[in-house]
Protein backbone atom coordinates (compact mmCIF):
# COMPACT_ATOMS: atom_id res chain seq x y z
CA UNK A 1 0.00 0.00 0.00
CA UNK A 2 0.94 3.62 -0.39
CA UNK A 3 0.28 6.50 1.96
CA UNK A 4 -2.63 8.63 0.72
CA UNK A 5 -4.33 11.81 1.93
CA UNK A 6 -8.03 11.54 1.02
CA UNK A 7 -9.11 13.79 3.90
CA UNK A 8 -8.01 17.41 3.49
CA UNK A 9 -8.80 18.38 7.09
CA UNK A 10 -6.09 19.91 9.26
CA UNK A 11 -6.12 21.68 12.59
CA UNK A 12 -3.81 23.92 14.57
CA UNK A 13 -2.67 22.91 18.06
CA UNK A 14 -1.80 26.13 19.87
CA UNK A 15 -0.19 24.33 22.82
CA UNK A 16 2.20 22.32 20.67
CA UNK A 17 2.43 25.01 17.95
CA UNK A 18 1.82 22.39 15.28
CA UNK A 19 -0.65 21.65 12.52
CA UNK A 20 -2.22 18.19 12.66
CA UNK A 21 -3.21 16.18 9.61
CA UNK A 22 -3.56 12.52 8.74
CA UNK A 23 -2.85 10.10 5.95
CA UNK A 24 -3.96 6.55 5.34
CA UNK A 25 -2.11 3.40 4.36
CA UNK A 26 -5.05 1.25 3.38
CA UNK A 27 -7.27 1.17 6.46
CA UNK A 28 -4.49 2.31 8.81
CA UNK A 29 -4.51 5.96 9.90
CA UNK A 30 -1.12 7.69 10.14
CA UNK A 31 -1.10 10.88 12.23
CA UNK A 32 1.20 13.77 11.43
CA UNK A 33 2.15 17.01 13.12
CA UNK A 34 4.15 19.68 11.37
CA UNK A 35 5.89 22.29 13.47
CA UNK A 36 4.58 25.82 13.02
CA UNK A 37 8.14 27.02 12.43
CA UNK A 38 8.32 24.79 9.34
CA UNK A 39 5.34 26.61 7.83
CA UNK A 40 6.63 30.16 8.12
CA UNK A 41 9.90 31.65 6.96
CA UNK A 42 10.30 33.36 10.32
CA UNK A 43 8.78 32.40 13.63
CA UNK A 44 6.69 35.17 15.10
CA UNK A 45 4.29 35.09 18.03
CA UNK A 46 1.97 37.50 16.19
CA UNK A 47 0.87 34.76 13.79
CA UNK A 48 -2.55 33.31 14.53
CA UNK A 49 -4.17 29.98 13.74
CA UNK A 50 -5.47 31.12 10.35
CA UNK A 51 -1.94 32.15 9.29
CA UNK A 52 -0.58 28.67 10.00
CA UNK A 53 -3.50 26.90 8.34
CA UNK A 54 -3.18 29.10 5.24
CA UNK A 55 0.55 28.38 5.11
CA UNK A 56 -0.20 24.66 5.42
CA UNK A 57 -2.66 24.89 2.52
CA UNK A 58 -0.09 26.69 0.34
CA UNK A 59 2.56 24.06 1.14
CA UNK A 60 0.23 21.04 1.22
CA UNK A 61 1.83 19.26 -1.75
CA UNK A 62 5.38 19.61 -0.36
CA UNK A 63 4.20 18.64 3.13
CA UNK A 64 2.47 15.52 1.86
CA UNK A 65 5.55 14.58 -0.19
CA UNK A 66 7.70 14.95 2.94
CA UNK A 67 5.19 12.90 4.95
CA UNK A 68 5.38 10.08 2.38
CA UNK A 69 9.19 10.10 2.50
CA UNK A 70 9.40 9.85 6.29
CA UNK A 71 6.68 7.21 6.36
CA UNK A 72 8.43 5.05 3.76
CA UNK A 73 11.68 5.13 5.77
CA UNK A 74 10.07 3.80 8.92
CA UNK A 75 6.39 2.91 8.95
CA UNK A 76 4.90 4.11 12.23
CA UNK A 77 1.53 5.47 13.25
CA UNK A 78 2.64 9.03 14.15
CA UNK A 79 5.27 11.56 13.05
CA UNK A 80 6.32 15.15 13.69
CA UNK A 81 7.64 16.94 10.60
CA UNK A 82 10.13 19.79 10.87
CA UNK A 83 11.51 22.35 8.44
CA UNK A 84 14.35 19.93 7.66
CA UNK A 85 11.79 17.42 6.33
CA UNK A 86 10.54 19.94 3.77
CA UNK A 87 13.94 20.37 2.13
Name the class of domain 10-81: alpha beta
Q: Is the pLDDT confidence value at 14 over 80?
A: yes
CB 26 within 8 A of CB 1: yes
Q: How confident is the model at residue 1 (pLDDT cuts 50, 70, 90)?
A: low
Q: What pTM did the predictor assign?
A: 0.92
Dist. CA 45–CA 72, nearest whole Å: 34
pLDDT in tens, 51-74: 999 999 999 999 999 999 999 999
Amino acid sequence: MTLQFPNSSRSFDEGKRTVRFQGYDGVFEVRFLIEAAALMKQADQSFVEADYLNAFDRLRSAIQDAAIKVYERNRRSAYTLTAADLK
